[in-house]
Structure 1
Amino acid sequence: MKKLTLIALIMVFSGISYGQALPVVPEVDLERYSGLWYEIKRMPSRFERGCMDVTAEYTVTEKRYVRVVNSCSKGEDSKGRTRIKGKAFVKKGSNNAKLRVQFFWPFRGDYWIIGLADDYSWAMVGDPSRRYLWILSRTKIMDPVLLDDLLLKAANLGFDTEMLEDGQSGI
């Protein structure tokens, strides 16, 4: 019994997800996924603290990775936008639905596409630990009914949607 308790505690404190696996979309066409996305909702994270009007731009390169440029405004008195550049690498066998994003070598984070419109007008991205979640749109404003549907889907997948923050100001 002590051994099982110890294993359970190690799993909890190491952040290992022992719940349901996180499903991803069947396939992603990276050329169609490329382009500018507006962040509608996100889980709080230290790397986006204070960010508003967040965008992400993805470009498929000839070198078989995706160039990532994230930008945001920080505060009303902010001059210009803060930008960070990175690379995303496709996980083999995932049909482009699972990527690993790297902004600082050697660290990479999971970027799993868990929801995607047929016309690529919105996407929902998370990680298996459920600590990160982004709801993205090709437009700065998302239909409220669609957003509610995506929030319900995220909650059903085990994400704490009460924690989500807005990615756009004045909406």
Structure 2
Amino acid sequence: MQLIKRTMIFSGLIASLGFLCSFATHAEIQTPKVVDKIEVDKYVGKWYEIAHFPMYFQRKCVSDTTANYSINSDKTIAVINSCRTKKGETISSEGVGYPQNEGSSKLKVSFLPSGLRWIPFTKGDYWILRIDSNYRVALVGGPSHKYLWILSRDSNLDAATYQSYVQTARDYGYDVSKLVRTPQI
């Protein structure tokens, strides 16, 4: 009986400790906050990828990664992502961004063929976390901390601005040690 009582107390302590640890871990990971609003007509156009987290769907890209955005007639955002492969070929993919908030700073983006975009759970988060007032530099990520991009209207970004955007990502809980600079040739 004494052994059962000790086992129950020990199990209770372990469960409580696990609960508290999960709380502490959750508290350390900051949920990114999107900018309140973007002016979509200023955001559209060509952006150069300055840095990114490595992702499977960009595995063939070695340089010159860009994103071109335009507004569709239904107020969704057309996306064309391009990059250069190791063989020097340019590859691209087309997608659509669906605004998820009033300020259009949260999007769900799908790169599936248009006939398949209705399938649930096939759209990725595209959250604009920071953008300068001139729409020259942007930080894009999502709530999962799996994706992160630093984008610029210019193919190069000065070190101070880059570090400032890296710090914003760090403040939001991103593991910025995973950032990879994107060569723009």
Q: What letter corresponds to residue 136 of structure 2 in structure 1?
A: S
Q: Structure 1 residues 67 and 58 mapped into 2: Cα distance closer, same or farther (>3 Å)?
A: same
Q: 1:117 aligns with which of 91, 115, 132?
A: 132
CA distance in 1, matches of 2:28, 2:144: 9
Residue equivalent to 2:93: 84
Asked whether the 8 Å contact 1:39–1:134 carries over to 2, the reply is yes
Matching residue's letter, 1:150: Y
User: Could you tell me the TM-score, scaled by structure 1's length?
Assistant: 0.86
Alignment match, 2:72: 61
* RMSD of Structure 2 on Structure 1 (CA): 2.2
Residues 110, 127 of structure 1: 8 Å contact kept: yes
2:104 is aligned to 96
Shift, 1:20, TM fit: 2.6
The alignment status of 1:151 with 2:166, answered yes or no, reads: yes
Number of aligned residue pairs: 161
* TM-superposed deviation, 1:49: 1.2
- Match for residue 135 of structure 1 among 150, 159, 166: 150
Q: CA deviation at 1:166?
A: 1.6
Q: Which of 175, 179, 183 is the equivalent residue of 1:160? A: 175
Q: Tell me the distance in 1 between the aligned counterparts of 2:94 and 2:17.
A: 43
Relative to structure 2, which stretch is displaced further, 105-114 or 160-169?
Answer: 160-169
Distance 1:17 1:132, change over 3 A: farther
- Partners of 1:168 and 1:46 lie apart in 2 by 18
Q: Which residue of 1 aligns with 2:36?
A: 26
Q: Higher Cα Rg: structure 1 or 2?
A: 2
1:91, 1:134 → 2: CA distance?
19
Give the Cα–Cα distance (whole angstroms) in 2 for the partners of residues 17 and 50 of structure 1.
36
Separation of aligned partners in 1, 2:130 and 2:146: 17
Is the CA contact 1:17–1:129 (under 8 Å) kept in the aligned structure 2? no
For structure 2, which runs of at least 5 residues remain unmatched after alignment? 1-11
Q: 2:173, 2:30 → 1: CA distance?
A: 8
Letter in 2 for 1:162: S
Distance in 1 between the 2:28 and 2:177 partners? 21
Mapped pair 1:74 → 2:85: yes
Q: Gapped runs of 5+ residues in structure 1?
A: none
Structure 1 residue 168, shift from structure 2 partner: 2.2
| Shift, 1:85, TM fit | 0.1
Point out the structure with the larger helix share: 2
CA distance in 2, matches of 1:86, 1:110: 13
TM-score, with structure 2 as normaliser: 0.79
Q: 43, 46, 69: which one pairs with 1:36?
A: 46
Q: Which has the higher strand share?
A: 1
